[in-house]
Chain A
Amino acid sequence: MASQIQGAITGIGELKPVRYSEGKTTLSLIAESVRLAIQDAGISKEDIDGLLVGPQVGETPQHVPATVSEYLGIDPTMSNTVDLGGATGPGMIWRAAAAIQAGMCETVVCVLANKNEKGETLRSPNRNPIREFDVPFGASGANTSYALLKRQHMEEHGSTQEDFARIAYWARKNAQLNPDAIFYNKPVEVEGILASPMIADPLHLLEIVMPVAGGAAVVVTSAEKAAEGKHKPVYLKGAGEKITHRAVSQAPSIDALPFNYSIPRALEQARTNVEDIDLFSLYDCYTSVVATTLESAGLCKPGEFGEFVKNHSFGHDGDYPLNTHGGQLGFGQADLAGGMSHVVEAVHQLRGEAGNRQIPNAKKALVTGNGATLSETTALVLGGEQ
């Protein structure tokens, strides 16, 4: 067996999502997220010697690690851009641990943030081959791609609109216990989801994340160093990653998606199995992603997520607590920082500081991240005990 990944999360900082962030730059949101995370870890910025950042910082498309380092006033001995779309957050965590294990640094800050100004649509530029072979046919953007995957699941497995709507229902329901969530105080029933406008049939508006402004930062250190920290450390127990394609037209079959590798690999490395997981913090940009992720995780057979979702409950007090912060469907998606919200919630739960949404006796969390169209996948197992 491959050598064990080791590392621990000692600090988290997350901005409350807002629909629009007037007068902010992405760099300032990055810095504010870092300030909160190092405050939580009980360290100063001089302790940071590793920095992982995302690729789509509005003010600086290139040289992102250097620009962020300069802005923060730090001089790390390891820095990099991690470019895995929605999987970037979880992808940063194991990369930080690996860099520490390799002796390149001791304390890594992983940070993602995004401004969102009214009237300004931040679009990542489409490049070839997608720009050449998808866009001219009327297919631009993620909504279309995820609609195509959802339709394929419905046709191949007979899953229904109600099956998918239940996933959005639980996200909204859980968001009612999170005052930071963009849909706090805005519950919605399955009927309301099904009655929301069709954006890209078969995807309804309320099956799609709300773009917001926000940010999240996570401090990673070695397990030894974490013992000196302010909080009970949260340990990285296992990681799995798999990338299979970029464009939806090149995706493998709906039953052979890359999470089929990355989730079992993370569980195996953590020497655990899916039934021993206390929190499922699963990337949810669309209902269809949660559907196939439940199947890839082995919680049900391929194609049978609908029965599974109908027969279980997914609140903090349910038999399968899922996205207790509301998921991105309830919390909001601050671009790539949305993926990091799944890591942050796992840390809250494993520390036992999730307040009125605390899962009793939470010991292990499965965290997933997904980029492009179920193309870039990362899975982590986090644990409250070493």
Chain B
Amino acid sequence: MSQHPNISLPSPTITPVSQPFWEGIQAGHLSLQQCDRCEQWVFYPREHCPHCFHDSLTWKKASGRGRLKTWSVIHRAGHPAWQEHTPYVVGVVVLEEGPSLLTHVLVDETDLTYNMKVEMEISEIGPHPLPFFKKQEETI
């Protein structure tokens, strides 16, 4: 999306447990864990299911689609490296699979609506590809 790579933007601090998530992003898709016992989807990545506490979860390709639960237009960034990108939009997306995540929303301020359908778009605004979300394209 952006032609302004900025090395001081904070990259994700990847752990051995979250590694598959970021490998998925590198490959262009959103991966989520699903519990092998209760079959609920899980985010953030972890080794134990927060629903049934089972210790076996499997990484699967997720839809990458969801709805916008809430958003904020940032005028004063919490991190100095983000200030030059203001105003920008962050939001919470409830994924079709159930979990919610915080993300950067690539929707114009005036087009934002509650519960709007959104889909993932991999973006490289900083040094690392990240799952941003944009308005879902109409399918025929």
Contact = CB atoms under 8 A, between A and B. Distances in A.
A166 to B, nearest CB: 21
Given A137-B90, A137-B132, A138-B90, A249 B72 contact: no
Contacts of B90: 137-139, 144, 148
Nearest to A135: B10
Contacts of B104: 137-138
A247 interface: yes
Contacts of A135: 10, 79
Interface string A122-146: 0000001101111111111101100
Contact of A137 (B13, B87, B103, B114): B103
Contacts of B71: 148, 151
A247 B102 contact: yes
A148 B70 contact: yes
B70 to A, nearest CB: 4
A195 interface: no
A137 B105 CA distance: 9
Interface stretch (A196-204, A216-224, A226-234): A196-204
B102 A133 contact: yes
A198 B75 contact: yes
Given A144-B72, A148-B72, A249-B100, A132 B77 contact: no
A39 to B, nearest CB: 40
B70 A155 contact: yes
B73 A155 contact: no
Contacts of B114: 155-156
Given A132-B18, A250-B100, A199 B75 contact: yes
A167 to B, nearest CB: 19
Interface string B51-87: 0000000000000000001111111111100100101
Contacts of B82: 138, 140
B28 interface: no
A156 B15 CA distance: 36
A144 B126 CA distance: 20
Contact of A151 (B14, B44, B72, B102): B72
Contacts of B73: 198, 200-201
B7 interface: no
B92 A249 contact: yes
Contacts of B10: 131, 135-136, 140
A133 B70 contact: no
Contacts of B69: 152
A174 B114 CA distance: 35
A138 B88 contact: yes
B91 interface: yes
Nearest to A123: B78
A136 B11 contact: yes
Interface residues of B, number: 38
Contact of B15 (A128, A151, A202, A248): A128
A199 B76 contact: yes
A147 interface: yes
A140 B70 contact: no
Nearest to B15: A128
A279 interface: no
Contacts of A136: 9-12, 126, 128, 130
A149 interface: yes
Interface in B1-52: 9-15, 18, 44-45
A138 B71 CA distance: 12
Given A129-B44, A132-B13, A148-B92, A248 B75 contact: no
A136 B102 CA distance: 10
A248 B102 contact: yes
A348 to B, nearest CB: 35
A143 B78 contact: yes
Contacts of B91: 148
B92 A138 contact: no
Contacts of A247: 44, 102
28 contacts: A131-B10, A132-B12, A132-B13, A133-B44, A133-B102, A135-B10, A136-B130, A137-B102, A137-B103, A138-B82, A138-B88, A138-B90, A140-B77, A148-B72, A148-B92, A151-B72, A152-B69, A155-B70, A155-B114, A197-B76, A198-B73, A198-B75, A200-B72, A201-B72, A201-B74, A203-B72, A247-B44, A249-B92
Interface of B: 9-15, 18, 44-45, 69-79, 82, 85, 87-88, 90-92, 100-104, 114, 126, 128, 130, 132
Interface of A: 128-129, 131-141, 143-144, 147-149, 151-152, 155-156, 197-203, 247-250
